[in-house]
């Protein structure tokens, strides 16, 4: 079984912008029920289908598969719930880990979060200076919930 252990934080300031180039992501959801989400995503010219289980603490089951980018684009346009999630992702190395900073656009304009994947829920790590309040357990920040209640409507 695939497993994701991830912590999520709000980002402050602009210092992180000089550390990496952003890559455009578009993603949508075929299912957003609490027990499972099914996501379609394009990253540049690549497509992915991801199935995730319910989150317990900072962990959940995760299965991700590459699919043709053209299929992903058609699914995003024709079958996924709206609005789509549009963001740039910046991958920044810090303290031996890779932090993924997501800068959201569209209906989630103004939201910037950083995620770090861990090997164990108890793993300790050094936070970069631009990482602030933790929002791991706050469901408002789940991408699957940002399509239902976008950041600009909070």
Q: Which helix (H) or strand (E) holds 75?
A: helix 69-78
Closest CA to 143 of 92, 93, 102: 102
pLDDT confidence band for 1 (50 / 70 / 90): low
pLDDT at 27: 97
Q: Does domain 3-153 have CATH number 3.60.40.10?
A: no
Whether 2 has a pLDDT exceeding 90, the answer reads no
Average pLDDT along the chain: 95
Residue 133, pLDDT score: 98
Q: What's residue 3's pLDDT?
A: 85
Determine if the pTM surpasses 0.75. yes
Active site residues: 29
Q: What pLDDT digit, counting tens, does each position of 98-149 carry?
A: 999 999 999 999 999 999 999 998 999 999 999 999 999 999 999 999 999 9
- Burial class of residue 27 in the structure, from the number of CB atoms within 10 Å of its CB (0-12 exposed, 13-18 middle, 19+ buried): buried
pLDDT digits (tens, 9 = 90+) for 73-87: 999 999 999 999 999
Structure tokens at 59: 């962990």
| Mean predicted confidence (pLDDT) in 33-52 | 95
Domain boundaries, the chain: 3-153
pLDDT of amino acid 4: 87
Rounded to whole angstroms, the maximal C-alpha distance in the chain is: 42
């Amino acid at each position: 079984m695939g497993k994701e252990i991830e912590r999520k934080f709000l980002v402050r300031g602009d210092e992180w912008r000089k550390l990496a180039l952003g890559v455009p992501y578009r993603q949508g959801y075929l299912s957003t029920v609490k027990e499972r989400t099914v996501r379609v995503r394009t990253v540049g010219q690549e497509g992915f289908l991801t199935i995730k289980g319910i989150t317990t603490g900072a962990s959940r089951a995760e299965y991700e598969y590459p699919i043709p980018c053209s299929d992903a684009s058609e699914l995003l346009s024709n079958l996924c719930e709206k609005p789509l999630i549009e963001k740039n992702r910046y991958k920044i190395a810090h303290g031996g880990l890779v932090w993924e900073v997501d800068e959201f656009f569209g209906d989630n304009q103004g939201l910037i979060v950083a995620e770090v994947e861990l090997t164990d829920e108890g793993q300790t790590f050094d936070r970069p200076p631009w990482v602030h309040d933790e929002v791991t357990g706050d469901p408002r920040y789940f991408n699957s919930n940002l399509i239902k209640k976008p950041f600009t409507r909070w």
